[in-house]
Structure formats: structure tokens, C-alpha cells
Chain A
């Protein structure tokens, strides 16, 4: 009895001990080690992937889009996986001794539930090798059954008896699609020849990451995704579009394929524009495909937008006019800047030759230079109005004072300064109208070098434009201590120092604003800028009226006249510099204008580099561009006429 009782106890104790073991193990796994195990599990399937963030939008002053990021996708492959499946699949076919067509045909005809029976294989070596391939969709079974196969359409075939003695090979033809004809399938969608894809994957077969195609449209990428190919993945990204293309090319710049700014504003304001990509957690299956979305760890933060002061339409007309002048005069390059005379905002900035930022093949070479800021030049006669205004302001010359420029040349420190003709006795007005170098020199010599130097400094010729455009070249003006009389004199008619076109346009703001100047702005301003005085209002206004004579009949630029508006301007025809001197027959044609005179609204500066059709005077080459653009711009900006329209009959 006691014996029996004891056996009970022993069994009970054993069971209890067994349960205790299970429980303690469960406790250990579920509670003590749970964090570690969960983490390990997550490591194997939860993946953190980047969410791309779009760059900010760039608008023009009327809210039209100049640059925009749209969602795109990249198709990439895990070349190692893909190549591995390809070789394994070929090996599988070889082991079976079947062609792909035969295999597919058999699979097609012998469907049983989800799987297709291929055949039974007695050779254990073959079976071992097939097993080692680890190809998805291929199964080895040892079953005894009789099945009635169906083909895909559900038609029943002759029954087959399978014995359990030797393994039978089954395939899932759906799963096999993931590695059959991958190159052909991809080639059809991506429009890349299949052989290229194959070569690429084979060449980089050890890589785990290989871009096949970037900037794929979302529709197409979805189709690629739906192919469910092993080792082929889709990555979301953004592509930058520039709807106005070449017209705003230089100013806005462009980004590279990784969405980083490379030129223009895209580069200058990279930090502002760029988005901050976020991260999200997803669950991936063994093949690396996303099966479930867990959560956003860090949400993507889109870049900030910016509104430029550019007017897209004025920019277009400037671009078109420059393009036609380039062709008409076979010029090497041409550029123009248009400023809002009242606020200093840049309304348009065009440089030619240009490029289309949407076309990657064009993004190199000479065309990408924004010549408005990168190219330095001597401004020539276009700076004479500054000297006259300053002289009037200082009182060293009177409005009606007569200055003798005969015989059309003077000598300063042994250098001969000449005019095109002998203009005889000229008033300051005449000096501007006839663009007399001798006259300007004589007036400059009445100032101290410090006074003249201060003028150039005040109109901003000694510093950059403050717009932070990449590649901007800062002009060079000798320090006043090094100035000799000849430097002072040649500066008065625009030689002996360098500025870029933007500097020149900036300086003209002074003449358009009653002697005051304000900083330039590429962004739309909400409040009027701070102005600083350069010369007295009276002197600046008088000079502006003199400049009107330049455009009047008998001046150097009657071609700049705009019907219905009073135009003030100044031409410049500058000999290009060469090593140690000046080119005899290569010129810069310049025109700077302010319109309308009664209440200046816009300042435009045009430069045409090396017009080579015989005509090279600023009044003949650059002035017509001014007229062409301004008549459109004045209309677009609803500027009231300040002159009677001549009857057009």
C-alpha cells in the first residue's frame, strides 16, 4: 500500500517539477529576458527607413512657382540577392534537365491546389543540391497520394499516383515569378535594354545596393513594385522641377540628383530650402519587402518656401529680348538686370547663354555662369551721371557752366584722353548727352580724390551686392591712398576699376531715388527699405533730367525711347580689357536706363558682350533691348504714362 502511495507521490512530484521547469523557463523568457528577445526579434524584422522630405517651393512675386519638388521614386536592387537567385534558378533548371519552357508548361498543366507537381526524383544527390539552392517557391515532399491535376483554367488532367519512397518536386509558379525573367520585366518598364541590366547586376554582383534608375515617375514605380521581384526595391525621393526652365535658370540655380543645391539660390539658401527627412518604422518580411507600417519615429519636415522679388513675366521678356540681341549681333554673351526703383527689389536678372535646369546634360560648362554677378567689367561711360551728380552736389560745377572740351582730347600725366568727336563747348548736360570723356575728366579734376572715391564707395562699387549669389565677383577699386590723378580721371568715365552688372544697376538706384540709395533685395519686401543719402536730391534730379537728353533725338540712345513714357538713360561702349591693355575691336555694349522720369519705377541695365556684326555702340545694341523689355514691363506693372502718346497713324 505504502509502495503504491509513494509511486503516486513520485509521479505527482515529477509532474510538478516538469511544470515548474516550464514555468520558470516561461518566466525567464517572458519577463526576465523579454526586452532582449523582443529587441532581437525587432532587429530581424522592424526596420527604420528614411522618409524623404521635399525642398521648399520658390515663388516669384506674384506667387507663381519657379521651383518645386514633386515625388519621384528610385528603383534599386540588392544585386547580390538578385544575382544569387538568377544563378540558383539556372542551376535548378539544369538539375531538372528541363528548359524553362518545359518547366512552366508542366507547372501549368499539373496544378494541385497552390502547388504544381513536377516529378519524382530518385537521385539523392540532385535532391540535396536542389535543397541547398533555397529557392523560394520550390518544395520537396515525401508523400503518398493520388492527385488529379488541373491546369490553370481548371481543366482536370489524368490522375497521377505519387509514392512516398522517393521525394517529389513541387513548385509554386506564383512565387517563382519573383525571379523569372527579371531583366526582361524590368527592361520593359524602365526602358533599359535587358542586356544592360543583366551586365550591370552581374558586374556589381557583390553589391547590396545598386541604383537601376532614378527619378522614376510614381505610376511607373508602382508598376515595378507590383512585379514583386526579389531583391528589387523602390525608394521614394523628390525631384526638383523648374517650370520656367532656362528663363530663370541662373537665378534659381539647380539641385543635383540627391536634392542638394548646386547653383544659384538653390545653393545660396540650401539650409533654408532643404527639408529634414524623417524616419519611420516598418515591418519587413524575409525578402525585405515592407509588410506593415509601425509608426513615424520622426516625421519628415518639408523645407521652407521662399518668395522672390522676381516677376516671372518681366523675366521672360528680358530673356527673350536678350536672346534675340544675342542672335542679331552674334554676341558672346548678354545679361540684364531690372530693379524696382523704389524698393531695390530685383525684378529680373537674366544671363545668356543659359541652360535648362531640368535637363541634366546641360548642367556644366560655360552656360551655367550667372554673368550678371560673376563677370566683372569696366562700366565705361555709364558712370558719368554719377560724377556729374556728385559735382553738382559739391557745387564744383554749375548747371549752365560751359566747359570747353576742344579739341576733343586732353593729356593727363602723359595719358591721352579722347572723345569720339570734338564736341566743343559743353554744359554738364551736353557732357552726358554726347558722352564726352574729356568733359567728365575735367569735372572730376575739380573734386578731391577722396570726394570722388567716396562717391564710388557710396554707390556700392567697392562691395558685393549683398544678395549672396554664388560665384559673385566683387569689384576692385584701388584704395584712395594709391590714387593718382590719372586714376581719378579715368574712373570718372568708368575705366580703371571693375564692377559687375548688378553693382551698376544698384548705383543707378541713387539717381532714381532723388540721391538716396537702398540695399538690393532678391526677396519680396513687405516694408520700404532703409535709404541712405549719396548726393542731394536736387543734384540727382537734375542729373536725371540730363540723362533724359541721352534718349532724346540727338543723344546717343534714341532707340531706348518707349512710347508714352519719359526715359532717362546712359549708354556705354567699353573696350574690353586684355593682358596689359585694351582690345582695339572688342567691346562691351552697355545701356542703363530709368523709367519713367517723372516718378521712376524701374531701373534696367543691359550688357552685351562682344557684339560682332559691326555695330557695337551701346545706343545701337543695348538700348533697343531696354526699350523692348520696358514697354512690356511698364504695361505689366500698370505704370501710368507720363508723356502724350504720339498718334500712331
Chain B
């Protein structure tokens, strides 16, 4: 009886091991895929945040230039208010 039970138990444990192994490999696979995805996204991020690209967009689309002139319409007008109590 004991022999029979332990035989069944062995089979049970083997099954569990196989199951766990499968899960382990699946997780490993997932890890690898996630890493690859991360790499792709990272490259994309680096491309989009390249200083040269940012500078170009800032200058051409947002008109952010250091030189202030009337031609480029980036002068700021500050109104000076006359104070109420004279002078």
C-alpha cells in the first residue's frame, strides 16, 4: 500500500515539476520579450529626444531663438504704467 502511494506521489510530483518548468520557461520568454520591447522603445525615445531634433523643433515650430528682433516677432512688450501720485 505504501509502495503504491509513493509511486502515485512520485508521478504527482513529476507532473508538478513539469508544470513549474513550463511556467519558468514562459516567464523567461516573457522577460526576454519585455527586454527587447524595452530596447526598441529606448531607441525610439533616444531618437525623439535627440538634442539636435529638439533644437530644430524649438527653433522652427516654437520660434524659440536667442536673438530678439521685430522681424521674428518674438519681442516682448512691457507696458509702463504711470503712477497715480505723479512723478
Contacts and interface: CB of A to CB of B under 8 A. Distances in A.
User: Is B a genuine binding partner of A?
Assistant: yes
Interface of A: 54, 64-65, 68-71, 241, 243-244, 296, 299, 312-313, 316-317, 320
B43 A65 contact: yes
Given A313-B51, A316-B52, A70 B40 contact: yes
Nearest to B21: A295
A646 to B, nearest CB: 15
- Nearest 3 pairs between A and B by C-beta? A243-B46, A316-B51, A70-B39
A38 B48 CA distance: 55
Dominant SS among interface residues on chain B: helix
Interface residues of B, number: 14
A314 to B, nearest CB: 10
5 contacts: A68-B42, A70-B36, A243-B43, A243-B46, A299-B28
Contacts of B43: 65, 68, 70, 241, 243
A244 B40 contact: no
Contacts of A317: 51
Contacts of A65: 42-43, 46
B50 A244 contact: yes
B13 to A, nearest CB: 19
Nearest to B40: A70
A54 B38 CA distance: 13
Contacts of A244: 46, 50
B40 A243 contact: no
Interface string B24-58: 01001000000110011011001101111000000
A318 B43 CA distance: 22
A184 to B, nearest CB: 31
A243 B40 CA distance: 11
Contacts of A68: 39, 42-43
Nearest to A70: B39
B42 A71 contact: no
Contacts of B39: 68-71
A243 to B, nearest CB: 3
Given A243-B50, A313-B51, A316-B51, 8 more contacts: A64-B49, A65-B43, A65-B46, A68-B39, A70-B36, A299-B28, A312-B51, A317-B51
Contacts of A313: 51
A241 B45 CA distance: 13
A69 B39 CA distance: 8
A241 B47 CA distance: 11
Contacts of A70: 36, 39-40, 43
Contacts of B50: 243-244
Contacts of B46: 64-65, 243-244
* Residue from B36, B43, B46, B52 whose CB has the most chain A CB atoms within 10 Å: B46
A317 B52 CA distance: 9
A65 B47 CA distance: 10
Contacts of B42: 65, 68, 243
Contacts of A320: 52
A528 B43 CA distance: 32
Contact of B47 (A54, A243, A296, A312): A243
Nearest to B47: A243
A244 B45 CA distance: 11
B33 to A, nearest CB: 10
Nearest to B33: A71
Contacts of A54: 35
B12 to A, nearest CB: 22
A319 to B, nearest CB: 9
A86 to B, nearest CB: 36
A85 to B, nearest CB: 33
B6 to A, nearest CB: 24
Contacts of B47: 243
Contacts of A299: 28
A65 B51 CA distance: 14
A513 B36 CA distance: 44
A313 B51 CA distance: 7
Nearest to A320: B52
A68 B42 CA distance: 9
Contacts of A243: 42-43, 46-47, 50
Nearest to A317: B51
A64 B47 CA distance: 11
Contacts of A69: 39
Contacts of A71: 36, 39
Nearest to A245: B50
* Residue from B25, B40, B51 whose CB has the most chain A CB atoms within 10 Å: B51
Contacts of A64: 46, 49
A201 B82 CA distance: 88
A110 B48 CA distance: 57
A299 B47 CA distance: 32
A356 B49 CA distance: 18
B63 to A, nearest CB: 19
Nearest to A299: B28
Nearest to A218: B36
A68 B40 CA distance: 9
Nearest to A313: B51
A64 B44 CA distance: 12
Contacts of A241: 43
A54 B42 CA distance: 15
Contacts of A296: 25
Contacts of B49: 64
Contacts of B28: 299
A241 B36 CA distance: 13
Nearest to B25: A296
Nearest to A241: B43
A132 B72 CA distance: 81
B23 to A, nearest CB: 14
A313 B50 CA distance: 9
A54 B47 CA distance: 21
B42 to A, nearest CB: 5
A69 B42 CA distance: 11
